[in-house]
Copies of this chain bind each other. A is one copy, B any other.
Amino acid sequence: MRWTLPSDRVPEAWFNVVPHLPGPLRPPLHPATREPIGPDDLAPLFPMALIGQEMTADPWVDIPGEVLDVLKLWRPTPLVRAERLEQALRTPARIYYKDESVSPAGSHKPNTAVPQAFYNRSEGVKRLTTETGAGQWGSALGFATSLFDMECKVYMVRASFEQKPYRRVMMEVWGADVEPSPVDDPTHPGSLGSAISDAVRDAAGREDSHYSLGSVLNHVLLHQTVIGLEAKEQLRDAGEERPDLVIGCCGGGSNLGGLALPFVGDPDVAMLAVEPSSCPTLTAGRLDYDFGDTAGMTPLLSMYTLGHEFIPPPIHAGGLRYHGDAPIISNLVEHGRMQAVAYPQGKVFDAAVQFARTQGTIPAPETAHAIRAVIDEALAAKERSEEKVILFGYSGHGLLDLGAYDDYLHGRLADS
């Protein structure tokens, strides 16, 4: 069963979790002075509207009409009950997922790419720069800028640029200019850190350009709350009072936050972050101030981190290969409001293939982390004969990750 909503029921305001957090959110610090930063420190890179959203304590933030018009191209997204998976597991749990893979870019990322493009253009910015690893975020921003007649420059980790041309082509279809990073060393395979440095340097050096980030920051998680707000309404349509457990994969935290944050105020809703064993920020990192990038150019953020120089192994879930977590997610974990679990990628792909053979659709490797945890929770509920309601985030499809499935099916997957 699927629960859809008409176009006119896209939420008209974003939910700001900050006033509802279990503890105060520590402010970002200036990388040189280690003092809390102010709006002016961010102005060279971001428009004032987004800086305001980054720092606001307002409980709701209105979504502009022009942003809504674009979100309605694919929103509201469906809420699906995974009945065939339930039957295969013989679990009494009821499993629902919010399907963000239906966006033009194939993931939840456009939910923030669109307002970021809009606010920049409203303040006269004609060009955005960003970095991308495997390409999910770069393609979302390429899509969004194409609709607002803006230029988009994407610095793509060179190894991905060369090995995964399809995401690069996708960005080019939308008109983005994609360049391998690092730009100054054509023999270097690159890293997310080098690409961030290239993108920030570009934006800081041009009057007409700003920089755009696809996760971690407060305003990014704010924009993603349309996911959870719609899911709440759709769960009611499905006859459920609330989910007992919300599960999402967690890289920077925007997918998980988008789904889970609107449920923070309900103490009966448990929350679980799922991460790769090879990049176990929440399960094995330390809570500390750290840089957002490898090069140490960004403000210091209070977060669970493996250290900004940590380079995760090249697992297929590129979107989960980040050394830290959003300060908001870190806050929830610090105070026990959210739990975390880590899985090796072999077990993750077992779950992905089981999902594809029961529900039909092929999930992104990132999304498959959530599915692994969902299956384990559903089997635990079966042990306890518990009619648990599980809601998880289907953050993206795996149609541009089929090479990873090829490795898995033919015994070439490193079980890291």
Q: Which of A45-53, A208-216, A332-340, A356-364 contacts B (4 or more CB under 8 A)?
A: A356-364
Which residues 309-360 in A have Cβ within 8 Å of B in the complex? 353, 356-360
A4 at interface (Cβ–Cβ under 8 A)? yes
A20 at interface (Cβ–Cβ under 8 A)? no
How would residues 1 to 27 of chain A score, 1 for a CB under 8 Å from any chain B CB and 0 otherwise?
Answer: 111111100000000000000000000
Range, interface on chain A: 35 or more
Which residues 359-416 in A have Cβ within 8 Å of B in the complex? 359-362, 399-400, 402-403, 405-406, 409
A409 to B170, CA, bound (A): 11
A104 at interface (Cβ–Cβ under 8 A)? yes
Nearest B residue (CB) for A110: B360
B362 near A409: Cβ-Cβ < 8 Å: no
A59 to B347, CA, bound (A): 50
B360 near A169: Cβ-Cβ < 8 Å: no
Please pick, from B5, B70, B72, B399, the residue contacting A399 in the complex, using a CB distance under 8 A: B399
Nearest B residue (CB) for A81: B7
Tallying the copies of this chain within the complex gives 2
A43 at interface (Cβ–Cβ under 8 A)? no
By a CB distance below 8 angstroms, the chain B residues around A166 are 399, 402-403
A6 to B80, CA, bound (A): 12
A73 to B360, CA, bound (A): 8
Nearest B residue (CB) for A1: B7
A72-B2, A174-B356 are contacts. A169–B104 as well, Cβ < 8 Å? no
A405 near B173: Cβ-Cβ < 8 Å: yes
CB pairs A–B below 8 angstroms (30 shown): A1-B72, A2-B7, A2-B72, A3-B6, A4-B4, A4-B6, A70-B360, A73-B80, A73-B360, A74-B360, A84-B147, A106-B399, A143-B360, A146-B360, A165-B402, A165-B406, A166-B399, A169-B402, A169-B403, A169-B406, A169-B409, A170-B402, A172-B405, A172-B406, A173-B356, A173-B357, A174-B356, A174-B357, A175-B357, A399-B400
Known: A73-B84, A169-B403, A173-B357. 16 other contacts (CB 8 A): A3-B7, A4-B6, A70-B360, A73-B359, A73-B360, A102-B102, A104-B359, A104-B361, A146-B360, A165-B406, A170-B399, A173-B353, A173-B356, A173-B409, A399-B400, A400-B402
Q: Which 3 A-B pairs have the closest CB atoms?
A: A104-B360, A4-B4, A169-B402
